[in-house]
Structure 1
Amino acid sequence: MSKINTKIYNTMKDNYGICSSWAVWNDSEDGSHRFDLNDKGYKINTIVKTFNEKMNDKIINKLGLHNDVVIVALNFGLRDENRVSQFKGINSVLPNYDFLIFHEELDVTKGLHRFSGDSRQKLAYKNTPLWGAYMTDLIKFNRDGKVEPVADSDSDSNNLNDLMSDVDFMNIQVKGLINELKLLESINPTIVAVGGAAFSQLNKKVVKDKLKKELGPNTNILKIDHYSRSNTVSDAVYVEKIKAVTNLIK
């Protein structure tokens, strides 16, 4: 397994900390693995605090970070602060933390249920090659190639569907992803697409050919089901589905 070193870690943090993370989570029975980011119930896994401490190779190695597998979801967006009360004020404090995305620990309750899927990942990725992987989104660059959240970014929104139909715009996203993974020093990675939309974009022949040319001929693309609670299978079934896919990773 190709490990991450401090230089690579800090490079990714400086360039993509706002829109990426690592597939590692803390857990506890007493809830101490969560902290409230805005004092209104927007809870985050405490591993994010570790991600934002001064890093060295020893800590990174203990976390098990690697670049053999890259998990790619569809799009980078921000929470709508008017959606539910727990989101109030979060966009002003989110910039205080790098590598925060994919690490919400929201309660599985009415109002928050559909937003509470992040924590399913720690259940499903544990003891698989996905644990410790770099996590990012495909669609996260504006037309100037700068990282920028996608407005109206629900996966079924007309805006997002229009963007995915725009060949020039998607070329910018693929080029940006390739540059990102080169900085990660990921060679012949297994790219694990989260959900059907991300997979359909990454698995297009023209895109696969670019990825293989730039990242290595053995670059592979797999698909896993999305962790969102809109995917209504039980946690136990979701875990088994993920393990079935990760068994294909060589």
Structure 2
Amino acid sequence: MVDIDRNKRIIKILDEKSLSAVSSWAIWDEKVFEETKSKLIIHKNKLCWNDKLTSNLETKINPDYMFIALNVAERGISQKFDKYSNFHDYNSLSNDWKCALTVRNTSLIGAYMTDIIKYFPESKASVVYKSLFPTNGVVSDKNKKIYDKSMDLFQSEIDIVDPKKIIVFGEEAKKILNHSLKNGRIHLDDSVEVIGITHYASATNNSKKTLQKRFTGASDDDTTNGKFTWVTVKDFVNMNF
């Protein structure tokens, strides 16, 4: 059952703190996908966040789930941080349609979506990680302000949204979340469950189907992307990446 009052409160606080500029919700226009008898057509120009999605937003979101990716991709142009535009990039280079396809028809529709590193446009995850942690997981002096600001904003998102389950996209995002929990920079309630999965940008058609099956609880023998297992925060912190 949708908790409208809770959802309204979350939306209001995110807007007040300008966090809607660095986040979004796992909701896309239904016109993004067009199914024919022979294939699924992707209309990337329909990916962008729009007024239709904003309308009655409190009835559509599911803050019990939170997606965490690494950072926004660099498109070679001035990066815009419009309200809820993250994960809804219709640029021809964007892979956000894969995220929409992965989540489509699953219980994860409406989940909160954010990046663990804020305002750091870069398309190569390895560059982001090495810029922040050049040696042995120690934050670089050069980018310490970026890391600290990112963690402050990310902790605010966690406190506001209060998710029950967190899905982390990609190895670098998992490493940073793991590191930040270990050093006490980020705090999660012990009841929260976490899972790390392959980033949707690198997913093939088969692996997208695999992820969909796992999220919906269907049986699947394909272990290409690793076993789908939720772990406690404590167990996640004790992992080594």
User: Is the structural similarity TM-score above 0.5?
Assistant: yes
- In the alignment, structure 1 segments of 5+ residues that lack a partner are 35-41, 82-89, 107-111, 141-148
Deviation at 1:249, TM superposition (A): 5.7
- How do 1:92-107 residues align onto structure 2 when only pairs under 5 Å count? 94=80, 97-106=82-91
Deviation at 1:27, TM superposition (A): 2.5
Deviations 1:153-192, CA, capped at 9 Å, x for gaps: 52132x54121344373455334312221122x15x2111
In 1, distance between residues paired with 2:170 and 2:47? Answer: 23
**Between the two proteins, what is the percent identity of the paired residues?**
23
Answer yes or no: is the 8 Å Cα contact 1:191–1:222 preserved in 2: yes
1:179 and 2:182 aligned: no
Q: Aligned-pair RMSD on alpha carbons?
A: 3.4
Deviations 1:186-215, CA, capped at 9 Å, x for gaps: 15x2111111111122234x6168488x44
Query: Number of aligned pairs?
Result: 203
- How do 1:40-189 residues align onto structure 2 when only pairs under 5 Å count? 43-45=45-47, 47-53=49-55, 55=56, 59-61=57-59, 63=60, 65-81=61-77, 91=79, 94=80, 97-106=82-91, 112=92, 115-140=93-118, 149-157=119-127, 160-165=129-134, 166-167=138-139, 169=144, 170=147, 172-184=149-161, 186-187=162-163, 189=164
Deviations 1:67-95, CA, capped at 9 Å, x for gaps: 111100001355212xxxxxxxx74xx45
Instruction: Please give the secondary structure, in 1, of the residue aligned with 2:126.
Output: coil
Deviation at 1:52, TM superposition (A): 4.5
Instruction: Please give the secondary structure, in 1, of the residue aligned with 2:191.
Output: coil
In 1, distance between residues paired with 2:87 and 2:122? Answer: 18
Answer yes or no: is the 8 Å Cα contact 2:45–2:90 preserved in 1: yes
Answer yes or no: is the 8 Å Cα contact 2:87–2:96 preserved in 1: yes
2:21 equivalent among 18, 21, 24: 18
In 1, distance between residues paired with 2:105 and 2:30? Answer: 14
Deviation at 1:242, TM superposition (A): 4.6
What TM-score comes out, normalization by structure 1 length?
0.66
Instruction: Please give the secondary structure, in 1, of the residue aligned with 2:210.
Output: helix
In 2, distance between residues paired with 1:26 and 1:211? Answer: 36
